[in-house]
């Protein structure tokens, strides 16, 4: 698919080493956020204030942190990093094996992948618990272990958790062709849920790039989907989605396109600016809120995006696919395309003329989003023609735009009176 314009940057081994070193520092930054979460949010001394909310947050954050630690071990090889990961894993263990989790494994084996996930990650990190492990494995082998209605990407989620216990064969799952990896994503008006179905299915099916995808899947088509979803994330200022979709170049092993490279630069600059990756809006301050309560309110909302970004960096390291260095130089002065969001525009203004000119797909994709919203069929046709001139009709976004025009044409033909 020539339209993807794959960029293999031949910037030498030294540059690649520097980029990987930079990614490792970002993983360490995510681990610092993990320490804050353990001490300021998940500590059991806070359990009594809002028990139900506390347990929900502990369950969600424990699984995400355990996944981050497992990938961090793959990405950070130094003894100092190993010691830090081990310390965090041991401090996390009481949360992952708490009495309410144990009870859920006993009574709800159909949900066992969710409840056992963090524990199984910790086992791989060298923090075992034989009694808990015995119950978790029995639950995962229960006669009703699959008796929970799941959409395909959630089946891959459960299969990924099971593979931690039973081996890589669990990843060879019949849900793969039914998931966005086989069925694609309806891109023209994709929802956030549509996007997350893709960004979750890809790492689950491959164990974050360690296991290759089935040979019959079109990896270039999947990279095209990732490009289109990166544009959606930039348009909506959704750095959480952006962090997840930027794993795709590493997992797919096809290199960085200009659009994905630009998107990485946006994420990197924002991370540098704040020291963390901002997520969705922080809940409003409660009446008479204390400082510890304010810290937990903010951290409990913002931690996830930084964890996702750290997981992305660890995945890129493990896949040997560091993002390319952004080209330095004065701003190119080209008019910004009609995208929404805020952060990408800062990077556009700072990008060189060469970089701006390379972002043809970004500009066309932003314009297509606006014309689809307006249902301006004439403008959509003009954009499809532009895509054809740029040899982009093989890209899934413009393939779907062309199909839209074909459906409209068929509808108009059907409405014509018989002669």
Is pLDDT above 80 for 296? Answer: no
Mean pLDDT of 384-394: 96
Nearest to 60 by CA among 117, 102, 108, 99: 117
- What is this structure's pTM? 0.92
Query: Is pLDDT above 70 for 53?
Result: yes
> Looking at residues 276-283, what average pLDDT do you find?
78
Asked whether the beta carbons of 249 and 260 are under 8 A apart, the reply is yes
So what's the pLDDT on residue 376?
97
pLDDT attached to residue 2? 35
Domain ranges of the chain: 2-174+192-329+347-358, 360-419
Ranked by mean pLDDT, which of 40-44, 47-51, 201-205 comes out on top?
201-205
Mean pLDDT of 22-33: 97
State the pLDDT at residue 12.
Answer: 56
Q: What is the 3-state secondary structure (H, E, C) of the chain?
A: CHHHCCECCCCHHHHHHHHHHHHHHHHHHHHHHHHHHHHHCCCHHHCCCCHHHHHHHHHHHHHHHHHHHHHHHHHCCCHHHHHHHHHHHHHHHHHHCCHHHHHHHHHCHHHHHHHHHHHHHHHHCCCCCHHHHHHHHHHHCCCCCCCCCCCHHHHHHHHHHHHHHHCHHHHCCCCHHHCHHHHCCCCCCCCHHHHHHHHHHHHHHHCCCCCCCCCCCCHHHHHHHHHHHHHHHHHCCCHHHHHHHCCHHHHHCCCECHHHHHHHHHHHHHHHHHCCCCCCCCCCCCCCCCHHHHHHHHHHHHHHHHHHHHHHHHHHHHCCCCCCCCCCCCCCCCCCCCCCCCHHHHHHHHCCHHHHHHCHHHHHHHHHHHHHHHCCHHHHHHHHHHHHHCCCCCCHHHHHHHHHHHHHHHHHHHHCCCC
Considering just the CA atoms, what is the radius of gyration of the chain in Å?
23
For residues 380 and 55, give the distance between their C-alpha atoms in angstroms, rounded to a whole number. Answer: 48
Q: What is the pLDDT of residue 282?
A: 62
Least confident of 192-196, 243-247, 413-417: 413-417
Is pLDDT of 94 > 90? yes
pLDDT, average across residues 49-77: 91
Q: Is the pLDDT of residue 355 over 70?
A: yes
Q: What is the pLDDT of residues 28-46, one digit of tens each?
A: 999 999 999 999 888 888 7
Cα–Cα distance, 35 to 150 (Å, whole number): 33
pLDDT digits (tens, 9 = 90+) for 209-254: 999 999 999 999 999 999 999 999 999 999 999 999 999 999 999 9
3-state secondary structure 39-79: HHCCCHHHCCCCHHHHHHHHHHHHHHHHHHHHHHHHHCCCH
Is the model's pLDDT at 69 over the cut of 50?
yes
Task: Give CA–CA dist 39/36, Å, rounded.
Answer: 5
Rounded to the nearest 10°, the torsion over CA 214, 215, 216, 217 is: 70
Q: Which percentage of the chain shows pLDDT scores above 70?
A: 95
**Is 9 a residue whose pLDDT tops 90?**
no
């Amino acid at each position: 698919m020539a339209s993807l314009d794959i960029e293999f940057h031949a910037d030498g081994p030294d540059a690649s080493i520097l980029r990987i070193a930079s990614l490792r520092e970002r993983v360490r930054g995510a681990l610092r956020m993990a320490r804050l979460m353990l001490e300021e949010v998940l500590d059991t001394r806070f359990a009594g204030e809002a028990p139900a909310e506390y347990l929900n947050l502990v369950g969600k954050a424990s699984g995400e942190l355990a996944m981050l630690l497992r990938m961090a071990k793959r990405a950070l090889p130094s003894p100092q990093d190993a010691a830090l990961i081990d310390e965090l894993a041991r401090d996390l263990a009481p949360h992952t094996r708490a009495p309410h989790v144990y009870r859920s494994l006993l009574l709800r084996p159909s949900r066992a992948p969710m409840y056992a996930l963090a524990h199984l990650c910790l086992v791989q990190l060298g923090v075992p618990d034989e009694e808990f492990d015995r119950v978790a494995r029995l639950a995962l082998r229960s006669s009703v272990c699959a008796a929970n209605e799941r959409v395909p990407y959630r089946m891959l989620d459960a299969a990924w958790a099971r593979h931690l216990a039973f081996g890589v064969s669990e990843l060879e799952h019949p849900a793969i062709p039914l998931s966005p990896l086989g069925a694609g994503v309806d891109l023209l008006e994709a929802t956030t849920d549509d996007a997350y179905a893709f960004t979750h299915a890809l790492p689950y099916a491959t164990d974050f790039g360690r296991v290759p995808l089935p040979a019959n899947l079109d990896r270039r088509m999947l990279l095209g989907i990732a490009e289109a979803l990166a544009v959606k994330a930039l348009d909506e200022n959704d750095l959480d989605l952006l962090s997840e979709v930027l794993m795709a170049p590493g997992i797919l092993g096809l290199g960085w396109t200009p659009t994905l490279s630009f998107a990485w630069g946006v994420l990197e600059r924002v991370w540098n600016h704040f020291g963390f990756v901002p997520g969705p809006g922080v809940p409003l301050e409660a009446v008479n809120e204390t400082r510890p309560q304010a810290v937990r309110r903010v951290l409990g909302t913002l931690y996830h995006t930084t964890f996702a970004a750290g997981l992305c960096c660890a995945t890129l390291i493990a896949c040997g696919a560091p993002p390319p260095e952004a080209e330095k130089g004065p701003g190119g002065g080209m008019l910004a395309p009609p995208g929404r969001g805020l952060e990408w525009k800062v990077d556009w203004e700072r990008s060189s003329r060469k970089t701006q000119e390379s972002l043809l797909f970004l500009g066309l994709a932003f314009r297509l989003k606006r014309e689809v919203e307006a249902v301006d069929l004439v403008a959509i046709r003009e954009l499809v023609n532009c895509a054809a001139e740029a040899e982009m009709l093989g890209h899934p976004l413009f393939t779907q735009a062309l199909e839209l025009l074909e459906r409209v044409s068929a509808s108009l033909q059907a409405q014509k009176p018989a002669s």
